[in-house]
Structure formats: C-alpha cells, structure tokens
C-alpha cells in the first residue's frame, strides 16, 4: 500500500520600507513578472500574491506596499493599512532591508512587526551593490541584533543570488495541508489588473518627479474575443496641468507610454493587444480616502 503524498502550503509576506526590492524578490522567486518594478519608491500599491509551486510544496508570496513613516496623504495612509492588514493569516514574514543601509524608515517598519508571533526572517537585499564585502559581516551582525529573527539571508534579488536560502527557510516552515492555489497559477491577480499595472509601470518609468505618485490607472474596457485583446484604460491625474504633461506635446508622451505598455502586454499575454489610453482629472484624489479606494487601492 502506497503512502499518501504529503503536501505543505502557506503564506509568506514581504514587508519593509519603500524601494528595498520586495517586488523584485517576489518576481525572482516565482520566476514570473508578478509585480511591476521601477527604481522609484511607492511603485507597489496593492497586496499581490505570487505563487511558487513545487512537488509537495506551495509558497504564496505576498508582496505589500512599502511602509511609510510619513502618511500625509490619504493614499499613503491606505498603503500603510494595506501593508499591515496583509499580515493576517501569514505563516512567515520576510523583513527586507538594503545591504549597508539602516534608515529611520527601517527602524519604524521593524517596530510595526514587534508584536507579531509568526517567524520573522531578515532578508538583506542588494548585496551586489556593496563593493567591499568585508563591510557586510559587521552590518549583518548589527542589524541581526535588533530583534530575534528566525533566520538571516543576505541576497541579491536582481542577480538571483542566494535565493535558495530563502526558499529553504520558508519551505521548512510551511504547514502541512493542501495547496492554496492551482499549480499552474503564478498570481492571484486577473488580466485586467495586470493591464492596469503595466500601464502604471510605464507611467512611473517615463514621467519625472512626483507626477507618477498622483496618477492611477483604471481599466474601462477589457474584451478578449476575436484575434486580439481590446483594452481601454483611463489614466487619472490629480491636477489639470498634470494632464498636459502625461499627454505631452502633440500627444507624444501618451503615445510613448501606450506603445511601451502594449509591447509589454503582448509579451505577457501572448496575444495581440489593442491598447487605447485616455487621461482624465480627478482633483486631488490622493488626499481623499474615498477617491483612493474608488480607484482600486
């Protein structure tokens, strides 16, 4: 008589201040583009799950918005709330910091984890950016002493260095039970969400200064029938002068954003895509919690 196959599955949340590489790490671990990535802080605005499935093991990696010390706008307050509420039902927390850097924002983010009872692992990301590796050991020793971490993992998410150590540590702590997601799924998000995030990623990459932080993308039409996917997306900005910047002279910037997003979506969806963009104004939406939530955050 054959023994029944035992499976383990659980949830792992990634938390930390903005721009420490949480989304890059999720994408690297899953092996697919789950979350959009840009060099700018506040890129991640949603709780997004990336699913890693191996024989007998499934790890659901929860990407969260960066924790802000200053929550002046309604958007920032909602992002903080999203990040902390994402820790409900989690089996392991990965606290991410950047190698060689410990900021007041890191201290504040760690303080928010003080009362958590689940294991918290310290992930020191971007070790590839430290030219003198002899400086890493004293830094690791210093930050490791800030709380009782379940494990410490120095990694480079961008270079895919030492990621096995994270999978080993998290995998050994996954509870016994059935898989939480179908084995062939790599994210909990649908195609409409992926389309909106792809447009917002290009907005963030191409627009300068603070404008990307006051822009949101809403999918107004998504049709998959026929030979191509038809997508109509509205870019919401908070001021009239921002609208002119997004459109650009003669519509040049909007066409640039649209072309980059369409090419990305064609590759990700493996389908022809007809993407049409509009820009509309909703005055100071980032300061209104109702507007923030209405736009899907």
**What are 266-273's contacts with CB under 8 Å, separation 24+?**
268/33, 268/194, 268/198, 269/191, 269/194, 269/229, 271/224, 271/228, 271/229, 272/227, 272/228, 272/229, 273/228, 273/229, 273/231
Helix, strand, coil shares, percent, the chain, to 5: 35, 25, 40
pTM of the model: 0.87
- Give whole-number Cα distances, 95 to 85, 167, 217, in Å: 15, 15, 29
The CATH number covering residue 258 comes to 3.30.300.20
Please state the domain count of the chain: 2
In whole angstroms, how large is the CA radius of gyration of the chain? 20
Range of the domain at 201: 191-294
Report if residue 181 sits inside a domain.
no
pLDDT by residue for the chain (297 residues), tens only, comes to 445 568 999 999 999 998 899 999 999 999 999 988 887 777 777 789 999 999 999 999 999 877 766 656 777 777 777 777 778 889 999 999 999 999 999 999 999 898 889 999 999 999 999 988 888 999 999 999 999 999 999 999 999 999 999 999 999 999 999 999 999 999 998 999 999 999 999 999 998 766 767 889 999 999 998 789 999 999 999 889 899 999 999 999 999 999 999 999 999 988 999 999 999 998 877 777 777 677 666
Domain shared by 139 and 217, yes or no: no
* Whole-number pLDDT of residue 1: 44
In angstroms, what CA-CA distances link 296 with 28, 82, 91, 114, 287?
A: 26, 12, 27, 29, 15
150 & 111 share domain: yes
Which pLDDT score is estimated for 104? 93
- Judge if 198 and 118 occupy the same domain: no
């Amino acid at each position: 008589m054959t023994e029944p196959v035992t499976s383990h599955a659980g949830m792992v949340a990634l938390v930390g201040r903005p721009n420490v590489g949480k989304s890059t790490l999720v994408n690297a671990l899953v092996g697919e583009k789950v979350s959009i990535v840009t060099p700018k802080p506040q890129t991640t605005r949603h709780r997004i799950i990336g699913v890693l499935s191996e024989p007998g093991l499934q790890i659901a990696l929860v990407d969260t918005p960066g924790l802000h010390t200053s929550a002046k706008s309604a958007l920032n307050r909602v992002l903080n709330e999203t990040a902390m509420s994402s820790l409900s039902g989690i089996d392991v927390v990965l606290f991410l910091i950047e190698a060689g850097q410990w900021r007041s924002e890191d201290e504040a983010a760690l303080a928010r984890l003080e009362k958590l009872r689940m294991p918290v692992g310290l992930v020191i990301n971007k070790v590839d950016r430290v030219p003198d590796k002899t400086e890493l050991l004293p830094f690791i020793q210093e930050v490791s002493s800030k709380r009782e971490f379940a494990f410490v993992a120095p990694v480079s998410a961008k270079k895919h260095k030492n990621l096995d150590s994270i999978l080993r540590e998290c995998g050994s702590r996954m509870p016994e039970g059935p898989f939480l997601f179908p084995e062939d799924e790599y994210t909990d998000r649908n195609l409409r969400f992926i389309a909106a995030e792809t447009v917002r990623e290009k907005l963030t990459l191409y627009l300068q200064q603070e404008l990307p932080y006051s822009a949101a993308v809403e999918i107004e039409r998504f049709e998959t029938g026929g030979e191509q996917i038809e997508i109509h997306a509205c870019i919401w900005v908070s001021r009239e002068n921002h609208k002119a910047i997004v459109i650009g002279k003669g519509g040049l910037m909007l066409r640039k954003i649209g072309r980059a997003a369409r090419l990305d979506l064609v590759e990700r969806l493996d389908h022809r895509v007809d993407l049409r963009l509009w820009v509309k104004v909703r005055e100071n939406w980032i300061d209104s919690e109702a507007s923030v939530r209405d736009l899907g955050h």
